Amino acid sequence: MIQPAAPSQSDIRHDWSRSEVEALFALPFNDLMFRAHSLHRQYFDPNEVQVSTLLSIKTGACPEDCAYCPQSTRYETGLEPEKLMEVEKVLQQAAAAKSSGASRFCMGAAWRSPKDRDLPYIVAMVKGVRDMGLETCMTIGMLSESQAQTLAEAGLDYYNHNLDTSPEYYGDIITTRTYQDRLETLSHVRDAGMKICSGGIVGMGETASDRAGLLQQLANLPVHPESVPINMLVRVEGTPLAHEADMDPFDFIRTIAVARILMPASHVRLSAGREEMNDEMHALAYFAGANSIFYGEKLLTTDNPEANSDMELFGRLGIRPEQHCVERAPENPSPQFYDAAAASH
């Protein structure tokens, strides 16, 4: 097995300017891919991809107005709301995910923020999944300091809370919570000692500068998110973005490559929208530095490539699922730095 080259800490920066990030996006495609792939090899085995499964544990009836989301009560999408799943049913799904090759189990609930009365059930899910030897991840909306602490004490490994897009374009996508709200939740999560999964969605009508702005925000956090999901818009009839134009596939690959360059020690995840990507686009994304996927036939409420299709492509590309292990320590774990960053926005 080819071992990654020794990483250089000088590659990890937190002071990127917008013009620097835009310049990366503007590089000739081959130059950008070479730079991203070379850096990827310094931090990761280029032939391993981390595999996660995502389960919707509470579907629909969300009061937020995210323009891309079929789970909002504001849009008629035909989605049938479902109450919070029973703990035992969630654990059954986790066991099935592990048997299919997943090393991380992510649970998502369509809440603006969880109610304290729901936390005992959430805690039981986290503990049960951890007992199976799986890494745990949750995405259940905005968290207070005390809620983040409760989840951390339960042993939650990761908390997902995306920034979605650039600060400038954010108001065109959602008005029911602010960018600062999102940053504060990330701050509570980091202060509680959990790892962060945070990225965004592209293909929502944003400009290349907005994509640069999203990645700049993530890369300039004092501690980079350990996982950076890059979602491609899934257009759902009934949502405001249902008829958004197709995104150029090369622009999507550029976003993956720039994320890899800016956050070289983070897992960059192919998330929603993979069902629109052919095998060649997947292969380019892995070469550009994507090394994490959601695995299975459903991604919350949207389709995802069938699990066996992923494994077949892995075989053709010589890629192995990454084995469960304790991920790197944050390169700068001081929570005081994180608080300062949140306050600056």
Could you list the active site residues? 62, 66, 69, 106, 137, 197, 269
Q: Is 259 helix (H, G, I), strand (E, B) or coil?
A: helix
Encoding tokens for residue 207? 């400009």
Cα dihedral 213, 224, 264, 23 in deg (nearest 10): 20
Q: Where are the beta strands (DSSP E) in the chain?
A: 48-58, 104-109, 135-139, 158-160, 195-197, 200-202, 227-232, 267-270, 292-294, 298-299, 302-303, 320-321
Q: Which residues, in sequence order, are bridge partners of residue 159?
A: 138, 196
Instruction: Quickly count: other Cβ atoms within 10 Å of residue 99's Cβ.
Output: 8
CB-CB contact of 213 with 168 (8 Å): yes
CB-CB contact of 228 with 267 (8 Å): yes
Residue type, 323: Q
User: How far from the centroid of its chain's Cα atoms is residue 328's Cα?
Assistant: 17
CB-CB contact of 321 with 49 (8 Å): yes
Encoding tokens for residue 227? 């996982």
Q: In terms of DSSP H, where are the helices of 87-131?
A: 87-99, 119-131
Residue type, 8: S
DSSP letters spanning 134-176: -EEEEE-S---HHHHHHHHHHT--EEE---BS-TTTGGGT--S
